Structure 1
Amino acid sequence: MENVKSRIILALDFPAEDEMNRCLSALQGELEYVKVGMELFYAAGPSIVYALKERGLKVFVDLKVHDIPNTARGAMNSLARLGADMVNVHVAGGRAMMEAAREGLEAGAPAGSTRPLLIGVTMLTSTSRQTMNEQLLIPGQVEEVVVGYAQLAKEAGMDGVVASPLEVPLVKQAAGTAFQTVTPGIRPSGSARGDQTRVTTPEEAFRLGSDYIVVGRAVTAAEEPRAAWQAMLTALQNSTTEQGTPTGGKR
């Protein structure tokens, strides 16, 4: 079976490094890819990326940059020099900003290394149609906006987008199977939705074509994180045995 672990990104959404370390100790030997979001990055600083890389982990630095092109370029240059494997910006920042972000990554990547994957955030998985229409003042269906953002991201030279698993088939149809999809809003069977509105199980996300899934509280907030993680892997194993290898684009 394909190494599905390499496609599961664990969200390290902790307020301090010591809490992160306790979780990583509980999951020793299980993880390949982790996500550092705003909470941990702002608490621990850029050195947290070095610390995770020293553990042999791949790191998605999830700061959702949304600023003027020159600032986005500088931010991405800095993240590339940190050794991040994946970074993201908001597609809503526009094509010029996304192009500048890509330029920053290419300039900041150490000589001889591949620049980080650059992923565009489409619509947050906590955003409903009502919120999008009435508060963000964006008309239409969420799926229509996500697909439009994905097409714009591809035109700007991005590697893929962050979207709900429910939108992955439409994104792949519009932007091609090689265009990467990173999907939060993942809840193993029996988990609470929390503040997410567009969610699926890990098995369904992979069946829909997600290249990477992001899993957080269902594992990190569990009484026994290792048991929760292994239960998720078992469900995926059973699903792929029944359905075949998880789908997805080129990685």
Structure 2
Amino acid sequence: MTNPLIIALDFPNWQAANDFLARFSPDEPLFVKVGMELFYQEGPQLIQILKSRGYGIFLDLKLYDIPNTVQSALTVIGQLGVDYTTIHAAGGLAMLQAGVAGIKKGAALANVKPAKLLAITQLTSTNEAQMQAEQLISASLPETVVHYAQLAHAANCDGVVCSAQEITAIRQHTSQDFLCVTPGIRPITSQVNDQKRAVTPLAAAQAKSSAIVVGRPITQAVNPYQIYQTIKSEWESF
């Protein structure tokens, strides 16, 4: 899947996630995101179950610690054979570089393809006023996101997680093939919820997002498969 539509499996346990996935055809080539809640509840064996079904996997744990700890953790994650995983750009250049080294080491140990390491810039639940007041960052939100993206690029991360609103500026300051994965995707008819910088699937496609992540609009829908197909059609239409 070159530019996947990723479904966020934001469920408390495997039973709930599996009940949701049962509403899709086994032949549907799904790409799913496993976040902290589900992974901490079920552990690495969950990844093996999902891989056995042929799903693409985005393991979104947003690592943020001292470089040595992050490298060790990503050495473990690197052995799981997931497609994407995440690290916080705010941890700094040395931590990002350690993360890249960990992913490569883990993949080599398990003889699997290295996961794409994505750096978190600013959460899409954060707006500029909130960032400046609570994080004491005086720069604008776009400037901050671009700065974090440049750090990630310098550390040889594969890309960033960012709003579609920031993709053009990020690629101008990194490279055109730098991955920009966009969460906070909301169809026009959907509630924004706690997302402050949400965009539609079409807007993400027009901004040339590398992939989009959709959670509640699909997982909380009466007919998840129908909504999934609607969003997928819009995402792939541009």
TM-score by length of 2: 0.95
Structure 2 residue ranges without an equivalent (≥5) = none
Question: In structure 1, how many angstroms separate the alpha carbons of the residues matched to 2:112 and 2:39?
Answer: 23
What does residue 52 of structure 1 align with? 50
Deviations 1:18-57, CA, capped at 9 Å, x for gaps: 1100111112233431110001111111111111001101
Aligned residues: CA RMSD: 1.4
Kindly indicate whether residue 8 of structure 2 is the aligned counterpart of residue 15 of structure 1: no
1:90 offset after TM fit, Å?
Answer: 0.2
Deviations 1:102-145, CA, capped at 9 Å, x for gaps: 11111110465321101100000000111110011111211110
Structure 1 residue ranges without an equivalent (≥5) = 241-251
1:174 offset after TM fit, Å?
Answer: 1.0
Q: 1:84 to 1:235 in 2, by over 3 A?
A: closer
What does residue 39 of structure 1 align with? 37
What does residue 86 of structure 2 align with? 88
Within 5 Å, which residues of 2 pair with 1:44-123? Answer: 44-110=42-108, 112-123=111-122
Within 5 Å, which residues of 2 pair with 1:1-251? Answer: 6-28=3-25, 29-110=27-108, 112-237=111-236, 239-240=237-238
Question: In structure 2, how many angstroms separate the alpha carbons of the residues matched to 1:30 and 1:144?
Answer: 39
Relative to structure 2, which stretch is displaced further, 115-124 or 76-85?
Answer: 76-85
* 2:127 aligned partner, one-letter code: S
Deviations 1:37-89, CA, capped at 9 Å, x for gaps: 00111111111111100110111110000000011001101111111111110
Question: In structure 2, how many angstroms separate the alpha carbons of the residues matched to 1:236 and 1:158?
Answer: 25
What does residue 249 of structure 1 align with? none
**Identity across matched positions, percent:** 42
Q: 1:163 to 1:236 in 2, by over 3 A?
A: closer
> How many residues end up aligned between the 2 structures?
236
Contact 2:79 2:112 in 1 (8 A): no
Runs of 4+ in structure 1 off by over 6 angstroms are none
